[in-house]
Amino acid sequence: MGRLAAEQHGVFTREQARACGLTEGRIRMRLESGRWERLHSAVYRLAGARATPRQALLTACLWGGPGATVSHRSAAALHRLPGGPAGVEITVTRGRLLRDPSILAHRTGPLPTVDVTDVDGIPVTTVARTLVDLAAVLPPEALEEALDAALSAGRVPRPRLVWRLDELAARGRPGVEVLRSLLEARAPAAPVPASVLETRLGRVLVGSGLPAPVWGHEVRAAGRLMVLDCAYPRVRLTVEGDGWQSHSGRAQWEDDLARQNLLVAAGWTVLRFPLSVIDQHPEHVRREVGETLARLQR
């Protein structure tokens, strides 16, 4: 059992224990002695095994029975996509009566094999299926951030996402039209925002009626190739969002200053806004970008 438990984040089922040759009596003895801990009616953990978020996800799948799969916001977390608080969220086959306030279980027919993959030994919906599922539970703004993160990082080929969206939409799934509209707004060959911060910045700019910016525009200055988050190349204006995570540490701060100086020397205007201003004062961002665009276009 030790090897199996090690491969499964420290957890296993009664059926697996029986398959390893343990009788009901020996299982009971291990539980009574404290060598095993009962997590659910037929799911156990080796004593001393460290509790982790991934262990909780696999435990929920084992408890959910055959076909149970991590999905929705928990799947987004496993795929390293934004999606809000993950908790423990799974999809199980219809007919399973599961009651646990710590687990959110969605019930459906058996998931097609094309919609299920594996992350660290945990069954989870694919990125394409996860995005379709997120469309039913997230507000459009959060769904947009998850979509941009998946596309910019190459986590899902666009044709595959369109294929799964079209097939699942035919079954009347909620949220698919929102996801479709977001996808259609992103040209197939065009770059998309590469971070949540950039997605929020783009939402502020485009939503205000300003021209759509170019994402990931490349500029070479003084022998250095730089990729601009958000640019208006015709007037040499770049608009960048600053987040603590991407600009932390002295070395990064010094590099940011050197990069900005090179852009200014090459004739670019640089506008930078912290995430707090983008989120809390979008009208300020719109006004400053609009006025700068108007001035540079004269």
List pLDDT tens digits, range 163-211.
Answer: 999 999 877 788 999 999 999 988 777 778 878 888 999 889 987 789 9
CA of 26: how far to CAs of 30, 31, 148, in Å?
Answer: 6, 9, 51
The per-residue pLDDT for 233 is 96
Are 234 and 136 members of one domain? no
pLDDT above 90 coverage of the chain, percent: 69
Read off the pTM: 0.80
Residue 190 placed within a domain:
no
Are 280 and 255 members of one domain? yes
Are 91 and 166 members of one domain? yes
Residue 202 placed within a domain:
yes
The per-residue pLDDT for 197 is 87
The answer to whether the CB of 12 falls within 8 A of the CB of 43 is: yes
The last residue of one of the domains, among 158, 184, 210, is 184
Are 160 and 83 members of one domain? yes
Nearest to 246 by CA among 263, 259, 233: 259
Are 216 and 175 members of one domain? no
**Which CATH number fits the domain that encloses residue 217?**
3.40.960.10
The per-residue pLDDT for 174 is 85
Average the pLDDT over 137-157 and give the result. Answer: 93
The per-residue pLDDT for 248 is 53
pLDDT tens digits, residue range 249-293? 677 778 888 999 999 999 999 999 998 999 999 999 999 999 999
Q: What are φ and ψ of residue 182, in 5° steps?
A: -65, -40
Containing structural domain, residue 7: 2-49
The last residue of one of the domains, among 144, 159, 184, is 184
Determine how β-strand 269-274 pairs with β-strand 116-119: unpaired
Report how many domains make up the chain: 3
Are 176 and 202 members of one domain? no
The per-residue pLDDT for 188 is 79
The per-residue pLDDT for 23 is 94
Are 250 and 267 members of one domain? yes
Which has more confidence, 3 or 118? 118
Residue 189 placed within a domain:
no
The per-residue pLDDT for 156 is 94
Are 67 and 10 members of one domain? no
> Scanning the structure block, which residue is given the tokens 């934004």?
82
Residue 44 placed within a domain:
yes
Residue 100 placed within a domain:
yes
Cα separation, 207 vs 281, in Å, equals 14
Are 178 and 202 members of one domain? no
Are 69 and 152 members of one domain? yes
Are 151 and 221 members of one domain? no
